Structure formats: structure tokens, C-alpha cells
Chains A and B, each alone.
Chain A
Amino acid sequence: MSPSVPLQEMIRAIRSARTQCEERGVIQRECAAIRAQFRQVDNGARSHNLAKLLYVHMLGYPAHFGQMECVRMIASPRYSEKRVGYLGAMMLLDEKQDASLLITNSIKNDLSHSNQYIQSLALCTLACMGSAEMCRDLAPEIDRLLRASNSYIKKKAALCAVHIVRKVQDLGELFVPAARSLLTEKNHGVLHGAVVLITELCENNPETLERFRKTVPDLVQIMKSLVISGYSPEHDVAGISDPFLQVRILRLLRILGRNNEAASEAMNDLLAQVATNTDSTKTVGNAVLYETVLTVLDIKSESGLRVLAVNILGRFLLNNDRNIRYIAMTSLQKIVGTDHIAVQRHRGTIVDCLKDQDASVKRRALELSLALVSASNIRSMMKELLLFLSSCPLELRAQAASGIFNAAERYAPSQRWHIDTILHVLTTAGGDVRDETVPNLIQLITNTSELHCYTVHKLYRALLTDISQQSLVQVACWCIGEYGDLLLRGECQETEPVQVTEDNILDALEVVLQSHMSSPATRGFALTATMKLSTRITDNVDRIRSIVSIYGSCIDVELQQRAVEYNALFKKYDHMRAAVLERMPVIEKNSPGHTNGESAGEALKEVQPAQGSTAPSLPSNTASTAGGDLLDLLGGFEPTPPAPAPQGLTSTHTHTHTHTQISMIKCIFLQCCFFCFCFCFFFSTVPTLTVYDKGGVTLTLSCEKQSNSGLIVTLTASNSTDSDISGFTLQAAVPKSVQLHMKAPSGDFLPARGAAKVTQMVVLNNPNKVGYHVWRCCCCFFINNINKGN
């Protein structure tokens, strides 16, 4: 076909423009000329003008004034003009433009044109940009073409029907009979179109899916002839006969065989045949194999076939071609939940892919490796994952770090390994970890009391090397503050002994306090740690005093507040300082399922401490050693900190038993809860707080000032479970300086579903006007529960 000379000249002119400005000038001139030409009546160069306009449009310049010209050219009797007109319609018009409605009539006429190439233009345009109204108008016409025309038009009509069904779901019914009959055609183009149409109809409507299940034998037959038949030059691609049609049929079989035993049974042999006979040296063969594997894994195939499919994926993993490795891992990711053991066999190859150059492959390998971690392979997998973390691209670091934490939490073989792993991650990728890592790690450290010495030594060493990783520095400061006395002792059985003086520790903390790299939160940690050390060290308390008083005038409000409060602790409340800054109790985590390599105990519920004890700045109130005058504990109650081990729980059990004389036979489920809360107020009222809410039992507290030194606290308990609670009693303990008077409760029986509440008033008298008020309460009650596993 002779090229359009005016078009090519214009293209040459545009390309030779040296600057953007020059190009714009050329295009403006050309567009003006084109616009003038459009206004003229018929001239021989119309198609060239529109083609020029389309080129300008592709460069990104506005071309909307060509829309009406497209409409006019589509209506022209000349084929060349129709061709360019339809092309313009597909490029410039879409269903949102008003002009698109104007071409509906032209399309309708052209669909019944005698010349098949003009028909094909109309079909193509309809399939590209047909709106819902156009589709509704022209659907019967398309159906007619599906039945009675040559194969060239039939295949186009089939894809047009696909577009119509996508736009207007209800018209699907119209095409079902025609689609069915098209499956008997011999022409591959028509067959392909028919398979696509049937796929679309089945995905659209489940009833149609049921009807088309009967075509499974026909499809199997077609596939067989494609796979077994000899060389057909027309459709051959690298030895595979018509791979496009094969893949489409496999996809349809997948949809038909899903959740259906009979259909899956019918295609079993075929799938096995395709899987074994397809040549996998070229990409085409692998494309067909890939589709086969996806189909096998999705239908109800027999186990032998599934193993074959997973093995094919395993072979893909060893392929030299990166693309194939990538899709193998994507598919394995989908089945790692269901066929875990089969995928585990290929773990070695997957871990090797972590070292691949390609970022997409690395990402897939990381996801798959994290999914494959289990209790038996945790040590070796973690070595590989930590190696990966040190060299992985930045965008994968956060994901890798959080994946490693989750895996370590679930399968850690020992506490020490767990802590080592977390420390390793923090030193390598500390900047990319999530915020809750710091409290999680602190909680983990407090739990492993035998490793406190080892942990604090390691963290101190890490702090000396590098203070840029904020999470690490925060945890290190906290530990040094808590366990500084262990650090000073020097010997520790698991690390080399090193002499650490009090000055060294204070120096390290001061460096963190003064460094520009430390975030405000980190500095807060460091200041609190320095303060805590005042009770752990003996010689340099003055130094701590001076540090604290300097920060009393710090610009940062948080630091200033802390410093002022600690100053107050040094001056006015020095007698309380030791008790306030004591060792923290073990912090309980809220989530269950925390194995950590040791069994956690039986069905007895975990003991829950209060909300306030996790933040390091609030004083804790375990009274194991000095400072016992802080709390006057309940008579006979052991002040064991709420430990997760069952031993601690049973000891409180026996105490409650003697305390309240319960009959064990009647009670199936005993709940004994122990909570402590502390709030600090300087002679102000506290609004209503919910201090305890667990297992359907809620306890709220509201305060009201009565006189200058008196306070009335009302405790209200309610029960939202389905069973009654009997024997509800409340006990409270307060410091010796405060007088407590508990009035009689309204009752001890809490009916189910919050039908009534129990209230108890408590009067507190504070004649000495002590600043802090620390309370401890215990409530004991019984629930008769029918199902034990509550």
C-alpha cells in the first residue's frame, strides 16, 4: 500500500524540530491547516488529514476537534476513509464522549455490509469502545453474525459478543446457544473465540456454568487432538501446536472443574498427558505447562496428579530463565498453605533464590521462605534470613525484619537464641523495624530472668559501638537502667568478663542523652535509665542528681517534665525513691499462643496486670524488698508478681481458698483475678476509669473529693456474661499513710447479662497529704460455667 506522503512529510518535519518550542510551533501550524481542511467539503486528502491528527494526538497534544471528522469519515463510502475513520474513533472517542452515539448507526449499517473487511472494521470498533447502549442495540445483529457468516467474521463476532457480555451482563443469555454450536468448528480462530466467549459466560453466571459443564468431553477431545496430532505448519510455535488455544482451553477446564468431582475426573487423563508430553525447553512449552499446573492445583484432582504438578513447579525453580523461576515461586506461594509438605521439599532452591540479582525474584523468595519456616528448620532458615537481611534491598527490609520477628516468636528453640536473633536484627536493620518491637523486646527480656546478666552485657557493648539505631538504643537504655547492678558485678557466665565502672555506664547514657542522633523518645529512655541507676549504684548518686537537675530546664517539654519529677523524687520524696525505682514486674503480653520453646501451662487463665505498668516512667509497685512500707498488703496475701508460670497462680489460689471457703464441687470454672493499678494525682479528681475488664466482668472506679484530705471512691462491678456470678468480694490495700474505710457493698451476687450492678463505696483519708496514691485491689468471685473451654 502506498504510504501517505503528506503524513510522512509532517512526521519528518516534527522530528526535525530541535527544541520542544519548535515542535509546538510546527504542530500548531499543522493543526490549523488540518482544521481548515476539515471545514471544507469533500476533498481527496481527508484520510491523510485525519491520520496526521492522530499522530499529533499520540504525541500528547489535544485533538478533540477531530471527533466529528471521525464520525463523518466512518459514514463515507470509501474504504480508505472508513479505515482511518474507525481508527480515529477508537483513539479519540470513548463511551464517555457524546459523539460516540452518532456512530452507532454507521456501525449498524456496516455490520451488514457485503464486504467482509468493512464488517470487520465495524466489529473491531464495537469491541473496542462500544458503550452499554450501543451493545444493547447491536446485540441481535452480533448474534446473527455468530451463526451465519464465514469464519473470518465469526471469530470477530465472538470477541464482540465477549465485550457485550462484559458491558451488559444480562445479554449473556442471548449468546449461549450460539456459543455452544461454535465449539464444533474446525477453524482455530473461531474455536479460540468460542472458548473465550464460553469462559466469559461461565464466569458471569453460575447457572450457565452448570450448563456448560456438559462440554467438558468436547473440550478434552479438542485438546487431545492438539497435543497428539502431528506437525501443523499453520499453528505451530516451536513444536507446540497452537499454544494460545491450548492455554485458553486449559483455563476454561479449570473453571468448569473447580469444585466439581465429575468434571475433574473427566479431565484427569488429559492433564496428565499434557503435563508429561509438553516440551519444556522453550518458553511456549513452559507457558502451557504453567497453565496445566494451575489447573491441576485448582480442580479436585487426584493426589498423584497434584504431586506431578508440584514437581513441575520444582523443576521450574531450577530453570535458568529468571521469568520461570519467578512464576514458579508465585505459584508455590499460593499452595504453600495447602500442600505444605510438598513445597518443603524445594526449600533449598527457594532459599538459594534469596541471593538472586533480581528484586522481584528476591521478594517472592522472601515471602515463600517466611511461609516455609517451621519448628524443625528454624535455626538454618534463620541463618539464611539474617544473611539476607544484611544485604537485601531497602524496600524489602521492613518486611524481612517483621517476618523474622514473627518466625522467631513462634518457633524460637530457646530464650537466648530468641534474644540473640532480635539483637542481631536490631543492629543490622534497626531503622526499619516497627514501633512495637521495642516494648515486645523489653517484655521478652523481663520474662527471661536467668539471662538478664547476659542481655545487659550484650546491650551495653552494642550501645558502646553504635548509637544510631534508635530501637536498639532504647532497649539498651531500658536494660541498663533496670539491670545496671548486674552490669557492675562484672562476671557473667555466658560472655567474657569485663570491668565496667559506674562512671562508664553513666558516660554511655550521657552520650545518648546529648547526641544529635537520638530521637526525643530515646532521650526520655536514657534519662529514666539514669534516674533508675540512682538506686542501683552507690558512689555516683551526686552525678545523677546533677544530670537530672540540668535537664530540668531542657527545651523538650517531655524531658523537662521528667527531670522535674525526678528532682522532686530526690528532694521531697527521697524516702520513697528506693521503692518507686525498684525492679519492674514481669510484663504480660496480651496475645495468646506464645510458646517460646517452653510449655506455658494448663488451661488456667493468665494473670493480667494493669495497663499502667508497661511505660517505664510510671513507678511500679512490687514490694519484694525494701520499701515494704509502701504497701500494706492484704492479710495473708503473698506479694508474688504476676508471673506466667503456673506455680505463682496456684499459690494465690490456695490463699483465696482459705480466705473465702469455696466449695470446689459446685464450681466448674474458677476465676481468680489479681490486678493492680496505680495512678498519680496531685489532689485533683480523676474521672471515671474502667480499671478491670476481662471475661465479661467490668469494674469501674469514680472518685470524688470530699474534703481537703478526703476522697470518696465508688467501685462499680457489672457482669456481661451469660452466667451468674456469686460470692463477689472486693478487697483493697493502701499505703500506711492513708486511711481506708470500706463501706458495705450493695451485694455479692452479679446476675447475668448486666441485670444489676454491685457498688461499694470506699472512703480514703489522707491526713499527711502524700503526693502519690497507690492502690491495690483484688476481686474474687465464682462463675458456674457449663463449657469448660471458656
Chain B
Amino acid sequence: MMRFLLLFSRQGKLRLQKWFMPMSEREKKKIIRDMTTMVLARQPRTCNFLHWKDLKIIYKRYASLYFCLAVESQENELLALEIIHRYVELLDKYFGNVCELDIIFNFEKAYFILDEFLMGGEIQETSKQIVNRSIEASDMLQETMEEYMSKPAF
């Protein structure tokens, strides 16, 4: 089971946080601090796996963003790397050549996409196309509902 997923920039600014286990605000803040310090301190050509308390931390850097995923000790680390990569691909397909600014200004979309891909600490859907189609359909629903609600009633 995955415990949390964090996205942060090279300066340590948090761009997305998803927690799969209930935790108090203080704990969350402490974990964010620990993760950013640990991951940002790593040398460039080292392996992507770390140990922290009883969890395995898998991190990968894409352009200026660090994706940091914490899994329990019986999980497959190489597959976790694939999960991170799959999420980046989904973001890329949605935003078209995604960059950090897209995730900053449209953070709620990033969350919606994540919620179509992962749920409760596990993978929900293994097919890229189905996830993309669901997001598009939800967006379409939102737009039509907006239009419908904002149209004057005669």
C-alpha cells in the first residue's frame, strides 16, 4: 500500500500532497520537511530508493519537480517507479507537454487526475486510455452542468 505522494520543486516548495493514511497536520508538516531535506540532499547519479523509518521512499526527478512516493516495505520498488512514470504520462497527455507551472496553476486538475489513477493507496486503473477518457468525461459533465445552470430559465 502507498502511504503518501509528494511533489515538490527544487527549492523545496510543495506542489501536491496526497495522503493515503490519516495523519495529523503536525505529522504531515514534519514528514514534508523530512522528505524534502532527504531527497534534495541526494547526489545526481544515485539510486532512487531510500529507507525512512519502516517505509521505502521512491523518488524521481522530472525537469524541475521531484516526485516522492512512500510505500510499505513489502511493495515492489521498481513498480513504484513505473507508477510515478505513469502519473507523469497522464499529466502530460492532459495538459499537453506538462511543466511545473501547469501543476501550480491547475492543481485541482492534477488532483482529479490522481484520483482517477490511484485510490486508497492502490492502483485503480491500469489502462492509460480509460483514465484519460474518464477525466475528459468528468470535465465535459462539469462544463455542460455549468452551462445549464448559468443559462437563464425561460
> Which A residues contact B (CB, under 8 angstroms)?
1-4, 7-8, 11, 15, 44, 51, 54-55, 58-60, 78-80, 83-84, 87, 94-96, 115, 117, 120, 123-124, 127-129, 152, 155-156, 159-160, 162-163, 188-189, 192-193, 196, 234-235, 237, 242-245, 247, 251, 283-284, 286-287, 290-291, 294, 322-327, 357-361
Residues of B within 8 A of A290 (CB): 76, 78
Q: How far, in angstroms, from A124 to B117 measured CA to CA in the complex?
A: 11
Residues of A within 8 A of B51 (CB): 360
Q: How far, in angstroms, from A55 to B130 measured CA to CA in the complex?
A: 28
The answer to the question of B50 belonging to the interface, with a C-beta cut-off of 8 Å to chain A, is yes
Q: How far, in angstroms, from A360 to B129 measured CA to CA in the complex?
A: 37
Q: How far, in angstroms, from A3 to B49 measured CA to CA in the complex?
A: 36
Residues of A within 8 A of B43 (CB): 357-358
Residues of A within 8 A of B79 (CB): 243-244, 247, 287, 291
Q: Is the CB of B138 within 8 A of A96?
A: no
- A248, closest chain B residue (CB): B123
Residues of A within 8 A of B142 (CB): 1, 79-80, 83
- State whether A96 and B24 are in contact (beta carbons under 8 Å apart), knowing that A155-B125, A242-B126, A291-B76 are contacts in the complex: yes
Residues of A within 8 A of B82 (CB): 237, 243-244, 283-284, 287
Residues of B within 8 A of A79 (CB): 141-142, 145
Q: Is the CB of A127 within 8 A of B45?
A: no
B151 to chain A, nearest CB (A): 13
Point out the residue from A55, A159, A188, A235 that lies within 8 Å of B122, measured CB to CB: A159
The answer to the question of B154 belonging to the interface, with a C-beta cut-off of 8 Å to chain A, is no
Mostly, the A contact residues are: helix
A166 to chain B, nearest CB (A): 8
Q: Is the CB of B77 within 8 A of A244?
A: no
Q: Is the CB of A234 within 8 A of B129?
A: yes
Q: Is the CB of A359 within 8 A of B46?
A: yes
- State whether A287 and B76 are in contact (beta carbons under 8 Å apart), knowing that A326-B47, A359-B46 are contacts in the complex: yes
- B139, closest chain A residue (CB): A1
- A161, closest chain B residue (CB): B120
The answer to the question of B137 belonging to the interface, with a C-beta cut-off of 8 Å to chain A, is yes
- A324, closest chain B residue (CB): B78
Q: Is the CB of B46 within 8 A of A357?
A: yes
Point out the residue from A1, A127, A358 that lies within 8 Å of B47, measured CB to CB: A358
Q: Is the CB of A235 within 8 A of B120?
A: no
Residues of A within 8 A of B37 (CB): none
The answer to the question of B108 belonging to the interface, with a C-beta cut-off of 8 Å to chain A, is yes
Q: Is the CB of B141 within 8 A of A115?
A: yes
15 residue pairs bridging A and B, Cβ less than 8 Å apart: A58-B15, A58-B107, A83-B138, A117-B134, A152-B134, A156-B119, A188-B127, A189-B126, A234-B128, A242-B126, A284-B78, A323-B77, A324-B78, A358-B47, A360-B50
Q: Is the CB of A95 within 8 A of B22?
A: yes
Beyond the given pairs A54-B107, A156-B124, A189-B127, 16 more chain A to chain B contacts, judged by CB atoms under 8 angstroms and listed by A's residue number, are: A1-B139, A58-B14, A58-B15, A59-B14, A80-B145, A117-B138, A124-B115, A127-B119, A159-B124, A162-B122, A188-B126, A237-B86, A244-B79, A287-B79, A326-B49, A360-B46
Q: How far, in angstroms, from A357 to B47 measured CA to CA in the complex?
A: 10
- Interface flags for B22-50 (1: CB within 8 Å of A; 0: not) read 11100001000000000000010111111
Q: How far, in angstroms, from A58 to B141 measured CA to CA in the complex?
A: 27
B136 to chain A, nearest CB (A): 9
Q: How far, in angstroms, from A205 to B110 measured CA to CA in the complex?
A: 37
Q: Is the CB of A124 within 8 A of B47?
A: no
Residues of A within 8 A of B115 (CB): 124
Residues of B within 8 A of A235 (CB): 126-127
Q: Is the CB of B120 within 8 A of A160?
A: yes
Residues of B within 8 A of A83 (CB): 112, 138, 142
Residues of B within 8 A of A94 (CB): 22-23
A566 to chain B, nearest CB (A): 52
Q: Is the CB of B120 within 8 A of A127?
A: yes
Residues of A within 8 A of B20 (CB): 128
Residues of A within 8 A of B106 (CB): 3
Point out the residue from A11, A115, A192 that lies within 8 Å of B105, measured CB to CB: A11
Residues of A within 8 A of B24 (CB): 96
**Which 8 interchain pairs have the tightest Cβ spacing?**
A287-B78, A127-B120, A1-B139, A322-B47, A358-B46, A163-B120, A94-B22, A189-B125
Q: How far, in angstroms, from A415 to B98 measured CA to CA in the complex?
A: 66
Q: Is the CB of B143 within 8 A of A244?
A: no
Q: Is the CB of B126 within 8 A of A245?
A: yes
The answer to the question of B17 belonging to the interface, with a C-beta cut-off of 8 Å to chain A, is yes
- State whether A96 and B49 are in contact (beta carbons under 8 Å apart), knowing that A159-B119, A235-B126 are contacts in the complex: no
- B127, closest chain A residue (CB): A234
Residues of B within 8 A of A245 (CB): 126
- A11, closest chain B residue (CB): B105
Which B41-65 residues have C-beta < 8 A from chain A? 43, 45-51
Q: Is the CB of B146 within 8 A of A124?
A: no
- B51, closest chain A residue (CB): A360
Q: How far, in angstroms, from A320 to B129 measured CA to CA in the complex?
A: 32
Q: Is the CB of A51 within 8 A of B108?
A: yes
B152 to chain A, nearest CB (A): 13
The answer to the question of B81 belonging to the interface, with a C-beta cut-off of 8 Å to chain A, is yes
Residues of B within 8 A of A193 (CB): 122, 124
Q: Is the CB of A189 within 8 A of B78?
A: no
Q: Is the CB of A162 within 8 A of B120?
A: yes
